């Protein structure tokens, strides 16, 4: 029985798909092959251009030139696509936290801490009118929920988030408030104290 299961598994197992971006060896050999192809094109141009008209030379090399452009085009488009996908998240690199299995984006600016409001609302499963900016600002304050320069996301300030969470008594909000104080505020204050001590000692 186990033998039949292994055989069935081996028959149904699929080959792994190629990665979105090939490994370094394939890229390296691809550029080596492209360089060799470039040399071949140059040699063919030199040897073929004895007395033939230039128009004929271009026609004969058109399909070769198309193949020559294929590799850098594929690499360039792939790099552009990866950059476009990563660009919206680049500002948050290293600033991702996790609460209850959900992503929380935080931004630290010296002593200030900002939390993306949409992540807070998602963590509490809130939507609709209750998460309207004006309604939230009635509790968090005008500066407690705002846009930062150069950012599209609405963010809570530390004080604004604490004030808004303090008005909520559901279990998730209480858990989030405790997580924010224990896993975000306390470590950040400790780091700032250490940094301040190092700066004072260096003087």
Give percent of the chain with pLDDT exceeding 90: 29
Q: Is the dihedral of CA 134, 137, 141, 143 positive or negative?
A: negative
User: What is the distance between the alpha carbons of residues 2 and 38, in angstroms, rounded to a whole number?
Assistant: 55
Distance of CA 65 to the CA centre of its chain: 35
Residue pair 166/177 in contact (Cβ under 8 Å)? The answer is yes
- In the chain, what are the domain boundaries? 15-88, 96-202
Give percent of the chain with pLDDT exceeding 70: 69
Phi-psi region at 120: left, alpha or beta (left = phi > 0; alpha = psi -120 to 50): alpha
Residue tagged 């020559």 (tokens): 68
Q: What is the pLDDT confidence band of residue 16, given thresholds at 50, 70 and 90?
A: very low
pLDDT in tens, 17-35: 344 445 667 777 778 888 8
At residue 177, does pLDDT exceed 80?
yes
At residue 13, does pLDDT exceed 50?
no
Q: At 127, which helix (H) or strand (E)? A: none
Q: What is the pLDDT confidence band of residue 179, given thresholds at 50, 70 and 90?
A: very high
Q: For the whole model, what pTM was predicted?
A: 0.53
């Amino acid at each position: 029985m186990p033998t039949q299961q292994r055989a069935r598994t081996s028959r149904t197992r699929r080959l792994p798909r190629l990665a979105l971006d090939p490994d370094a060896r394939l890229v390296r050999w691809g550029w080596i092959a492209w360089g060799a192809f470039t040399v071949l094109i140059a040699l063919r141009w030199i040897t073929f251009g004895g007395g033939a008209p230039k128009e004929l030379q271009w026609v004969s090399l058109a399909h070769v030139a198309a193949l020559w452009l294929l590799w850098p085009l594929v690499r360039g488009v792939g790099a552009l696509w990866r950059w476009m996908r990563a660009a919206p998240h680049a500002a948050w690199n290293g600033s991702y936290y996790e609460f209850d299995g959900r992503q929380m984006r935080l931004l630290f600016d010296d002593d200030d801490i900002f939390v993306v409001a949409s992540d807070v609302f998602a963590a509490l499963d809130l939507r609709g009118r209750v998460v309207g900016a004006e309604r939230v600002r009635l509790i968090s304050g005008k500066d407690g929920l705002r846009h930062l320069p150069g950012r599209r996301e609405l963010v809570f300030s530390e004080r604004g988030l604490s004030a808004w969470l303090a008005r909520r008594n559901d279990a998730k909000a209480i858990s989030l408030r405790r997580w924010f104080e224990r896993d975000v505020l306390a470590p950040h204050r400790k780091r700032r104290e250490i940094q301040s001590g190092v700066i004072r000692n260096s003087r």
